[in-house]
Structure 1
Amino acid sequence: MESQAMRDYIRQYTLDGGPHGHQGYSKVLLQLFGYTGHGKSSLINTWKCVVDDGPYVAHAKVAGSEEKPETMIRRDYPLTDHILVVDNRGCVKMNKYEIGAIYAQLGNFMALNEEVKWQVGYSDTIDAVLNSDVLDQSHFIVPVLVYSANTVPTNPEEIKEILKAARDITGLFPTVVLTHECSEHLSKVKEIFRRMEVKNLHSLENYTGEDHKKTRGKHETILRCLQEIIKDVEFRMLEKLDPMNEKIERKRFLLEYAHKRELEKLQEKDKGKGVCIIL
């Protein structure tokens, strides 16, 4: 019965239930981001399987490896009538250009169901911000970092900075979902993320095309993770919010990040020439 209660809560959730109503938001947008091959697409298939309470279906194509991402197009998948899950393009190296693209995706400045190309300069960011005015900006954005427990982070400070930026962009500290729960590195990876002050930390094992035998324990773990994410949305909606102002703040963040990145690029270029620039 516990699984059914969690499933019903997820299926029935709407943004209208708070004291201020939907406040101008149309749907909840669960934005999955992170490295390629860490399980974002598999998590979507897993969530769909347990929420629909039906057979496993590979709705989102899964990457063959971390170096060969399957997701090049930023796709959205309906989880319920009021909740969408977005499979954002993942990063391989997490360099400044890829990180900039992550922020643009999280801010909803890139169109859904179109190919994501890494930004190469300040002008690309300007274009993304300007073109975003024709995109649907009415979603309540929820950042979800998907990270494989098979990979022990070697750059925790960089990941922590990205998590902080995701919070600044969306207003919510990201939920971190650790995939490959059976990994021998799980305890170590969990401790590293706890040191990053991550409060919403979940570990689970995705269903896959090779292994989708349903178990009660696995189902409940997956549903509990999703239920806690939705509860964060519900709690945030108790506040008086302003979607239009949030859009402006997201634009400001992205432009400031791009400007800073461009200055660093010029500094590195001039440093190579032996020129000192005071900014």
Structure 2
Amino acid sequence: MESRAMRDYIRDFSLDSCAHGNQGYSRVLLQLFGFTGHGKSSFINSCKYVVDDEPYVAHAKVAEYKKKPETMIRNAYKLTETITLVDNRGFRIMDKYEFGEIYLQLGNFLPLGREVKWQENFGDMLKLLESERCDQSSDFIVPVLVYSADYPVTDKNYMKDIIMAARDITGVFPTVVFTHELSEHQPKVWESFRQMGVKNSFSLENYTAEDTKKTRGKHETILKCLQEIIKDVEFRMLEERDAIGERIDRKKLLLEYAHKREMEKQKEEMEKPLGKIKKQETEKQEKQEKGDCILL
């Protein structure tokens, strides 16, 4: 009965029924992001399986575990009339350019249904943002970080930077979904994220094409995760909001980020020749001093 009640709550949720109505939002966009191969696509399929209450279907294409990722296109999957899941392209390494691309996806500045290509420089990111004209201010964005418990966190600072950037861009602190909860590393991974300030997190095992047997544990964890996300949306909708203004602020923040990174890159490029010249001068001086020592 508890599972059915949670499922009905998720299915029936409408932005129109919030305290101040929809305030210009037409849907809730759950932005799934994280490393490639950590289970974003599988989580989408699991959510659809649990909420639709129909035979399992692999809506989002899933690569073999720990193999080449399948998601290159930023695809959207409708969960209910109000909630849409977005399978963003995952990142491979903690790279500044990939960070920029992740932020563009989270900010909803890249079109759905198209291939995501990593930017080669921040100048391209600036151009993309400046020329972007698509109005997607009606999307209430909720970031959801999917992280496999099979992978211990090796660099907490970078991961925390991503989490905090996601919060700044969307205005919502990310919910974290730990996949492969039976992994021996799960306790350490959970503790690492707790130290980063993550409070809203869920550990689970995804349903797969090879394992569709329904269990109360899996169902209730997935439903609880979705329910808590919706409750947070309802809480935030208690405030009077400006959907268009928020999108403008997101764009301004990303433009500032891209401009700052481009300036840093140009500075690094300018310092390279200077560093080379300085190195050559140092080597020349060392040779001269060595020659003087020989003469003595």
TM-score by length of 2: 0.90
Q: How many residues align?
A: 276
CA distance in 2, matches of 1:176, 1:28: 17
Secondary structure of 1:134's match? coil
Q: CA distance change for structure 1 residues 131 and 63 in 2, over 3 Å: closer, same or farther? A: farther
Partner of 1:154: 154
Instruction: Report 1:45-60 matches (<5 A).
Output: 45-60=45-60
Aligned counterparts of 1:111 and 1:254: Cα–Cα separation in 2: 16
Q: Identity of paired residues, percent?
A: 63
Give the residue type in structure 2 aligned to 1:209.
A
* 1:117 alignment partner, SS class: coil
Q: For residue 136 of structure 2, what is the aligned residue in structure 1?
A: 136
Contact kept, 8 Å, 2:123 with 2:262, in 1: the verdict is: no
Q: Partner of 2:31: helix, strand, or coil?
A: strand
SS of structure 1 residue aligned to 2:162: helix
Contact 2:76 2:113 in 1 (8 A): yes
CA distance in 1 between partners of 2:126 and 2:265 (Å): 17
For residue 198 of structure 2, what is the aligned residue in structure 1? 198
Which residue type is aligned with residue 79 of structure 2? Answer: L
Unaligned runs of 5+ residues in structure 2 are 277-296
Stretch of structure 1 that moved more, 59-68 or 139-148: 59-68
Query: Counterpart of 1:133 in 2: which secondary structure?
Result: coil
- Residues of 1 paired with 2:200 and 2:6: CA distance? 17
What pairs up with 1:85-100 in 2 under 5 angstroms?
85-100=85-100
Distance in 2 (alpha carbons) for counterparts of 1:64 and 1:123: 35
Q: Specify the SS of the correspondent of 1:60.
A: coil
1:78 aligned residue: 78
- Structure 1: stretches of 5+ with no match in the other structure: none
For the pair 1:185 / 2:188, whether they are aligned, the reply is no
| More displaced 10-residue stretch of structure 1: 93-102 or 134-143 | 134-143
What is the rounded CA distance, in whole Å, between the counterparts of 1:10 and 1:270 in structure 2? 54
Per-residue displacement from partner, 1:57-109 (whole Å, max 9, x unpaired)? 10000123556220000000000011100000000012011110000000010
Larger radius of gyration: 2
In structure 1, distance between residues paired with 2:27 and 2:49: 20
Paired position in structure 2 for 1:25? 25
| Greater helix proportion | 2
Amino acid at match of 1:56: Y
Find the aligned partners of 1:139 and 1:132 in 2 and give their Cα distance. 16
TM-score by length of 1: 0.95
* 1:253 counterpart SS class: helix
158-167 vs 60-69, which deviates more? 60-69
Residue 273 of structure 2: aligned partner: 273
1:105-140 CA deviation, whole Å, 9 max, x = no partner? Answer: 000100000011111223322332234322433100
* Structure 2 CA distance for partners of 1:67 and 1:184, relative to 1, 3 Å: same
2-structure distance, mates of 1:242, 1:67: 42
